[in-house]
C-alpha cells in the first residue's frame, strides 16, 4: 500500500506542462516565441489545470541544438527576453498558484560558453580539464579520433581543435562539448548554477541527459555493430557510468536537499528498471523521478529514433504495466509522458490522426495518461490534439540538427554506394514524416489568423497546415474539443487519488486491441477501458473483475453523460472509459 496523499510531496499529484519557448507565443513579432508570450498565456495554462510549467531552455545560446547548447547559464537569451522578464514570469506563475521548473543542461555546454573558450585556448589553461580532451590515435600512420564513439547526432563524437591539436568529446553535436564531471571544480560550478536559479525562485529542474555525465574510465572503443562505418554506438560507455550516482548524490547533498524542489532526470539508453531505480528510490537521495525511454523507443529500430519500426499493443501494455507496478512499495515514482520536444506527436504515433479518428483518439490518449500513477506531463499542443505535419513537406522544413545530420549521413552513404549524386531519399522522408522531432516543434496554433496567431512576423518554423481548423481559440469554445476534454480529464485525475496513487492491475493481458486495468487505493477502485483501434470490440468484464456493481462512470471520450457498466461492454473505435467504485464499508 502506498503512502497516503496527505504526507506525500506536492509534486506527486502535479500536472506538469512543458513549454518549448521558441514555438509557444511570439509577443514581439520577431518570429520566435518569447517569455512575454508565455506570460500572456498564464491564464490559459491555469485554466487548463496546470500545476507546474517546465520551460525548455531559455538561456543564452547560439541555438545549434535549439537552446540545449548553453553559452551562459545565468542569463536569458535575448531572443526570449531578459532576466527581468523571467522574474515577471515567475511572479505571474506563483501568483496563480503554479510553479516553474527549469531545464538544467549540464552534461555539456555550448562551444561558445566562456568555460569552453578558456578550455580550448591552451593545454595549460586552468579550465583545460573542465572538458574531455584527448590526443588523436595514430593507426597505420593516420590520425584518428581518440576512440570510435559515434555522436548521438551522427559522425564522430570527437572534434579536433587546431589550436592544440587535441580532440574534445561531444556526445551530441560538435557545438556541444561534454563537461568533465570527474573534475570536482566543474561539479561545484554546476552547483552554483543551480543555486543561482533556486535563489531566483525556480521550483525545480528537469535534468537533460543526466545519466550521461560519467564516462567509463579509459574511454574504451565501442564494439563494432555497424559495419557500414567506423563510428559505433557507445552508450554502454557513457550511460549510467561508474560515478553517476556519486555525482547526483553530491548534487542532492549540496543543493537539492536544502529546498523543496521537483526534480526529474532524463535518462535515455536505459530500459533496465533496476538501473533507473537507483536514481529514484528515496533512500538513495538523488532525484524524484526519471523519464525512462522504453515507451518512447517502442517504434524505433536500434539504428535511429528517426526511423520507424512497427509496434504492437501487447508491447505497449507490457511496458506500461511493468513501470506502473515497479517497486511501488519501495517508493519508486514514475514520470508519465507520451510526448515532448524530442518526439513526434502522440496522436500520430499512438492514436490515429485521420480526420475521422483524431479527436476521439487524442482524448483516448489523454485518458491513458491521466489514469496512470506518477507525475503527469503534458507537452504544448498535446492538449489540442496537434498532429505531425504532412508527408508532403520537404526536407527543408526539418530544421532539427538531428534530422539534418542523419539525412546528410545517409545521403552521402547512398551517393558513395551508388556512385551518383542524385539518390532516392523518399523512404527517409517517409520515416521523418512519422518520427522526426520537428513535429513537436512547429509553432503553437492559437487561432485561425495568420501563422495560427503565433507571430505577427515570419515564424522561425512553418506552422502546421491545419491551424485554421485546429487551434486553441476554436477548441476553447467547444465543449466537445480535445482541449475541453483534457481540462475535464485533469480535474477528474485530481478528484480521484486512486488515479494518482493507486496500485495497477492489468486485465485482459493478451488482448491486442484493448488496454484495460484497475487501480486500487484504500477502499477505492478505478476501472479503465481503452480501445486502441478503430474497430468496435466487446469486452467481457464478468470474467475478469467478477462483478460490475457500484462502478460509477467518471470520464469517457464519447459522451459526457454516465454510461452504465454491464458485464459485457462494447467499446467503440478508440473509446476510453473510466469508472470508480467505493467499497461498501461494513
Contacts with ligand GLC by CB under 6 A lie at 65, 68, 105, 172, 208-209, 266, 341-342
The three three-digit cell numbers of residue 508, written as one number: 485482459
Please state the closest distance from residue 206 (CB atom) to ligand GLC, in A.
9
| 8 A C-beta contact, residue 428 and residue 407 | yes
Instruction: Report the alpha-carbon distance of residue 519 to residue 252 in Å, rounded.
Output: 32
Residue closest to ligand GLC when measured from CB atoms: 68
Angle at 86 between CA 49 and CA 173, to 5 degrees: 95
Please state the closest distance from residue 495 (CB atom) to ligand GLC, in A.
32
Residues with Cβ < 8 Å from 260, sequence gap 6 or more? 9, 10
**Residue 238, CA distances (Å) to 213, 406, 525 in order:** 7, 21, 42
Residue (116 or 446) nearer to ligand GLC, CB:
116
**Residue 79, CA distances (Å) to 19, 284, 490 in order:** 15, 39, 32
Residue (209 or 569) nearer to ligand GLC, CB:
209
Q: Is 397 considered catalytic here?
A: no
Q: Is 478 considered catalytic here?
A: no
| 8 A C-beta contact, residue 379 and residue 440 | yes
Please state the closest distance from residue 305 (CB atom) to ligand GLC, in A.
10
Instruction: Report the alpha-carbon distance of residue 363 to residue 579 in Å, rounded.
Output: 16
Residue (206 or 387) nearer to ligand GLC, CB:
206
HSE at residue 343, side-chain half, CA atoms within 13 A, is 22
Marked catalytic residue, from 266, 353, 503, 575: 266
Please state the closest distance from residue 438 (CB atom) to ligand GLC, in A.
12
| 8 A C-beta contact, residue 45 and residue 17 | yes
Measuring CA to CA, which residue among 89, 105, 91, 97 is closest to residue 14? Answer: 97
Sheet strands (E) in 133-275: 133-134, 137-139, 142-144, 158-161, 166-169, 204-207, 262-266
Measuring CA to CA, which residue among 521, 561, 567, 520 is closest to residue 548? Answer: 567
Residue (65 or 286) nearer to ligand GLC, CB:
65
Please state the closest distance from residue 425 (CB atom) to ligand GLC, in A.
23
Please state the closest distance from residue 296 (CB atom) to ligand GLC, in A.
11
Marked catalytic residue, from 159, 208, 286, 400: 208
Please state the closest distance from residue 254 (CB atom) to ligand GLC, in A.
23
Please state the closest distance from residue 197 (CB atom) to ligand GLC, in A.
18
Distance, CA of 39 to chain centre: 22
Instruction: Report the alpha-carbon distance of residue 368 to residue 489 in Å, rounded.
Output: 10
Residue (371 or 382) nearer to ligand GLC, CB:
382
Residue (247 or 293) nearer to ligand GLC, CB:
293
Residue (341 or 451) nearer to ligand GLC, CB:
341
Residue (105 or 198) nearer to ligand GLC, CB:
105
Instruction: Report the alpha-carbon distance of residue 201 to residue 155 in Å, rounded.
Output: 40
Annotate 293-342 with DSSP letters as a single string: -TTTTTT--TT-TTS-----HHHHHHHHHHHHHTTGGGT---EE-S--TT
Please state the closest distance from residue 106 (CB atom) to ligand GLC, in A.
10
Burial tier of 161 (Cβ tally within 10 Å: 0-12, 13-18, 19+): middle
Residue (105 or 500) nearer to ligand GLC, CB:
105
SS3 assignment, position 182: coil
Residue 2 is classified by DSSP as P
| 8 A C-beta contact, residue 486 and residue 502 | no
Which residues does the annotation mark as catalytic?
A: 208, 266
Amino acid at each position: 500500500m502506498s503512502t497516503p496523499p496527505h504526507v506525500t510531496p506536492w509534486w506527486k499529484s502535479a500536472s506538469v506542462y512543458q513549454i518549448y519557448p521558441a514555438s509557444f507565443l511570439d509577443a514581439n513579432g520577431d518570429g520566435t516565441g518569447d517569455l512575454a508570450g508565455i506570460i500572456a498565456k498564464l491564464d490559459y495554462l491555469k485554466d487548463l489545470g496546470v500545476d507546474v510549467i517546465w520551460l525548455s531552455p531559455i538561456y543564452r545560446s547560439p541555438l545549434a541544438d535549439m537552446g540545449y547548447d548553453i553559452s551562459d547559464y545565468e542569463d536569458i537569451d535575448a531572443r526570449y527576453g531578459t532576466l527581468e522578464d523571467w522574474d515577471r514570469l515567475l511572479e505571474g506563475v506563483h501568483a496563480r498558484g503554479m510553479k516553474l521548473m527549469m531545464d538544467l543542461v549540464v552534461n555539456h555546454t555550448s562551444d561558445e560558453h566562456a568555460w569552453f573558450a578558456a578550455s580550448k585556448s591552451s593545454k595549460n589553461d586552468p579550465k583545460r580539464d573542465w572538458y574531455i580532451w584527448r590526443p588523436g590515435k595514430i593507426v597505420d600512420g593516420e590520425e584518428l579520433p581518440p576512440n570510435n564513439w559515434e555522436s548521438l547526432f551522427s559522425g564522430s563524437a570527437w572534434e579536433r581543435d587546431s589550436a592544440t591539436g587535441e580532440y574534445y568529446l561531444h556526445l551530441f553535436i560538435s557545438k556541444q562539448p561534454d563537461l568533465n564531471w570527474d573534475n570536482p571544480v566543474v561539479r561545484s560550478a554546476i552547483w552554483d548554477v543551480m543555486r543561482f536559479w533556486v535563489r531566483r525562485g525556480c521550483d525545480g529542474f528537469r535534468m537533460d541527459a543526466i545519466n550521461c555525465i560519467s564516462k567509463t574510465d579509459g574511454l574504451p572503443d565501442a564494439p563494432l555493430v555497424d559495419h557500414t562505418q567506423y563510428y559505433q554506438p557507445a552508450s554502454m560507455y557513457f550511460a549510467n557510468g561508474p560515478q553517476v550516482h556519486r555525482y547526483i548524490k553530491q548534487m542532492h547533498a549540496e543543493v537539492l536537499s536544502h529546498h523543496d524542489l521537483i526534480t526529474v532526470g532524463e535518462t535515455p539508453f536505459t530500459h533496465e528498471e533496476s538501473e533507473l531505480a537507483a536514481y529514484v528510490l528515496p533512500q538513495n537521495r538523488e532525484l524524484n523521478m526519471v523519464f525512462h525511454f522504453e515507451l518512447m523507443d517502442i517504434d524505433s529500430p536500434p539504428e535511429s529514433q528517426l526511423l520507424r519500426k512497427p509496434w504492437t499493443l501487447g508491447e505497449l501494455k507490457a511496458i506500461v504495466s511493468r513501470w506502473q507496478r515497479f517497486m511501488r512499495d519501495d517508493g519508486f515514482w514514475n514520470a508519465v509522458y507520451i510526448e515532448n520536444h524530442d518526439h513526434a506527436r502522440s496522436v500520430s504515433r499512438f492514436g490515429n490522426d485521420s480526420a475521422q479518428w483524431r479527436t476521439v483518439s487524442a482524448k483516448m490518449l489523454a485518458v491513458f495518461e491521466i489514469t496512470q500513477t506518477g507525475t503527469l506531463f503534458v507537452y504544448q499542443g498535446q492538449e489540442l490534439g496537434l498532429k505531425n505535419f504532412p508527408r508532403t513537406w520537404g526536407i527543408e522544413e526539418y530544421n532539427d540538427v538531428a534530422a539534418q545530420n542523419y539525412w546528410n549521413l545517409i545521403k552521402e552513404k547512398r551517393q558513395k554506394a551508388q556512385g551518383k549524386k542524385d539518390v532516392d531519399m523518399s523512404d527517409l522522408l517517409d520515416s521523418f514524416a512519422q518520427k522526426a522531432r520537428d513535429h513537436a516543434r512547429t509553432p503553437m496554433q492559437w487561432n485561425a489568423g495568420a501563422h495560427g496567431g503565433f507571430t505577427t512576423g515570419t515564424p522561425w518554423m512553418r506552422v502546421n497546415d491545419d491551424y485554421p481548423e485546429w487551434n486553441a481559440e476554436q477548441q476553447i469554445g467547444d465543449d466537445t474539443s480535445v482541449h475541453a476534454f483534457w481540462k475535464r480529464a485533469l480535474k477528474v485525475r485530481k478528484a480521484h487519488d486512486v488515479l494518482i496513487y493507486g496500485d495497477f492491475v492489468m486485465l485482459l493481458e493478451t488482448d491486442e486491441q484493448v488496454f484495460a486495468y484497475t487501480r486500487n487505493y484504500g477502499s477505492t477502485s478505478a476501472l479503465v477501458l481503452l480501445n486502441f483501434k478503430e474497430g468496435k470490440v466487446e469486452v467481457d468484464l464478468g470474467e475478469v473483475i467478477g462483478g460490475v456493481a457500484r462502478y460509477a462512470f467518471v470520464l469517457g471520450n464519447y459522451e459526457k453523460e454516465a454510461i452504465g457498466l454491464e458485464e459485457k461492454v462494447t467499446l467503440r473505435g478508440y473509446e476510453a472509459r473510466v469508472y470508480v467504485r467505493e467499497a461498501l464499508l461494513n
